[in-house]
């Protein structure tokens, strides 16, 4: 694949739409649509900045899952606590803020922080951290009027049952599967 160019086709409030041009392996022009959370000045910017975090939180051998309404699919699904880094915020501050905003909980201990990974390579250059934390406090709804989130801790048997019948985001499904199978990360 040979990169030929890129053009911003829409500048939304949260997502920037780009059209990338490539010469495919057969020598033909290929147009590819993608979105980014950032303004990109050229191909050197693709996938370079970290946008946010997904948080896998535990308390007393239970996994925190959010049941939330997602407009893009017009339904509720199970998801992880997650969000975007704001301004010059550190990743640790982002983790604490997002966990509190979406659940009312606080970070008791950061268990592990994985290096940034790509969240949706089929259509976006978004990179996010995955944080494993031990949470504490009382669950409370601190969400904006544009979010509908119900946070709860689930035991392994409950998670096994949910995996058979409920819709999940990809990352939350993987975290739930490994949790149900007995996995729990240890601090480095």
How far is Cα of residue 7 from the mean position of the Cα atoms in its chain?
A: 26
Judge whether 85 and 51 are in contact, CB under 8 Å.
Answer: yes
pLDDT of residue 149: 93
Domains contained in the chain, CATH given: 2-45 (no CATH), 50-180 (3.90.79.10)
Q: Which residues contact 88 (CB under 8 A, 6 or more apart)?
A: none
First-to-last alpha carbon distance for the chain, in angstroms, is 39
Secondary structure of residue 89 in the 3-state scheme: coil
Q: Where does the pLDDT of residue 146 fall: very low under 50, low under 70, confident under 90, or very high at 90 and above?
A: confident
Judge whether 91 and 82 are in contact, CB under 8 Å.
Answer: no
pLDDT at 21 over 70: yes
Distance, in Å, from the CA atom of 86 to the CA atom of 103, rounded to the nearest integer, reads 18
Distances (CA, A) of 81 to 68, 103, 162, 174: 10, 8, 17, 14
Backbone torsion region of residue 29, taken as left when φ is above 0, otherwise alpha when ψ lies between -120 and 50, otherwise beta: beta
pLDDT of residue 60: 93
Judge whether 149 and 141 are in contact, CB under 8 Å.
Answer: yes
142 or 73, which is more confident? 73
Q: Where does the pLDDT of residue 184 fall: very low under 50, low under 70, confident under 90, or very high at 90 and above?
A: confident
DSSP conformation class of 94: H
Q: Where does the pLDDT of residue 173 fall: very low under 50, low under 70, confident under 90, or very high at 90 and above?
A: very high
What is the overall mean pLDDT for the chain? 94
pLDDT at 188 over 80: no
pLDDT at 187 over 80: no
Q: Where does the pLDDT of residue 31 fall: very low under 50, low under 70, confident under 90, or very high at 90 and above?
A: very high
* Nearest in space to 128 (alpha carbons), one of 120, 110, 111, 116: 116
Distance, in Å, from the CA atom of 125 to the CA atom of 49, rounded to the nearest integer, reads 9
* Nearest in space to 81 (alpha carbons), one of 124, 117, 135, 35: 135
Secondary structure of residue 98 in the 3-state scheme: helix
Q: 44-89 pLDDT, tens per residue?
A: 999 999 999 999 999 999 999 999 999 999 999 999 999 999 999 9
* pTM for this model (two decimals): 0.91
pLDDT of residue 145: 86
Range scoring the smallest mean pLDDT among 3-12, 63-72, 141-150: 141-150
Q: What does the pLDDT average to over 107-114?
A: 96
Distance, in Å, from the CA atom of 128 to the CA atom of 28, rounded to the nearest integer, reads 33
């Amino acid at each position: 694949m040979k990169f030929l160019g890129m053009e911003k086709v829409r500048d939304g409030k949260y997502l920037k739409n780009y059209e990338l041009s490539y010469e495919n392996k057969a020598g033909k022009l290929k147009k590819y649509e993608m979105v980014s959370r950032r303004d990109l000045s050229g191909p050197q910017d693709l996938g370079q900045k970290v946008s946010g975090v997904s948080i896998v939180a535990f308390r007393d051998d239970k996994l925190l899952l959010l049941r939330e309404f997602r407009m893009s699919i017009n339904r509720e699904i199970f998801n992880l606590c997650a969000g975007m880094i704001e301004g010059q915020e550190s990743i640790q501050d982002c983790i604490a803020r997002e966990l509190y905003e979406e659940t009312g909980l606080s970070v008791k201990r950061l268990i592990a922080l994985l290096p940034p990974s790509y969240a949706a390579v089929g259509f976006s250059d978004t990179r996010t951290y995955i944080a494993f934390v031990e949470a504490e406090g009382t669950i409370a709804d601190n969400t904006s009027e544009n979010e509908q989130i119900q946070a709860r801790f689930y035991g392994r048997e409950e998670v096994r049952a949910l995996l058979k019948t409920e819709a999940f985001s990809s990352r939350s499904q993987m975290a739930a599967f490994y949790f149900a199978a007995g996995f729990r990360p240890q601090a480095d």
